[in-house]
Amino acid sequence: MDKDFTVEALLVEPSQHFDDVHTIYFSTSLQRQRIDVNIMEPEPLAFSLYLRYDQGKMYIYDKKRDKCLVHALHGRLEPFCLSRNANHTGTVIIGGSLKADVWKENREGFKVRLILSSYREIPINIFTKGGTHSGVVMQEWFNYKVGVESEKVFDIPSACKKSTPSQELEDAPYVPLKELAKRMNKMFAGW
């Protein structure tokens, strides 16, 4: 996959009856990622998650309340890729013309099925099952673009610059951030 991209994703966990729409800005060259999360159920909420590997910090910004949670971030932002144990299990045609490859892999206790466009190896559908989370999580990717429009999309909101680091995301001071932390954990399950 491209090392820098922008994409929209629909995240669905059928057993929990929720679906969220995300916009993902991803740049391994800058070591930065931003995910704008629009939660539709049970009440509409809007957050931005800034993963600033270049700073070693993760920021969760609640747009409605203008509040921010800061957490230490370790490691490097790695490109999206298939694991070494991925198996190509077939090819499908989507919409009568888009050829896509189906891959299955096991990653850290998760069973993952990915459908990637054959032309550019862009994820179309990611289906994750297992691990420590019960149920199934599905992502649908759409409006994929190579690159990120501007480095400014990774600029940290002023509320985040005033925040002090939190010990744990699960200890967030108010419920919406706790719920977002749980959803983010599920979104990246197996990645």
Predicted local confidence at residue 138, as pLDDT? 84
One-letter identity of residue 171: D
Predicted local confidence at residue 34, as pLDDT? 97
Task: Name the residue among 51, 15, 50, 22 with its Cα closest to residue 37.
Answer: 22
How many domains does the chain divide into?
1
Predicted local confidence at residue 191, as pLDDT? 42
What is the residue-averaged pLDDT of the chain?
82
pTM equals 0.80
Q: Describe the strand order of the beta sheet including 45-52 as a list of residue ranges.
A: 67-72, 57-62, 45-52, 32-39, 18-27, 4-13, 136-146, 123-130, 110-117, 98-107, 87-94
- Domain extent, residue 67, equals 4-187
Predicted local confidence at residue 133, as pLDDT? 52
Give the CATH number, domain containing residue 130: 2.50.20.10
169: its two tokens: 């995301």
Helix or strand (DSSP H, E) at 162: helix 158-162
Predicted local confidence at residue 172, as pLDDT? 45
The parts of the chain modelled with pLDDT lower than 70 are: 15-18, 131-135, 163-191
Alpha helices in 15-157 (DSSP H): none
**Helix or strand or coil: residue 178?**
helix
Predicted local confidence at residue 17, as pLDDT? 62
Predicted local confidence at residue 60, as pLDDT? 92
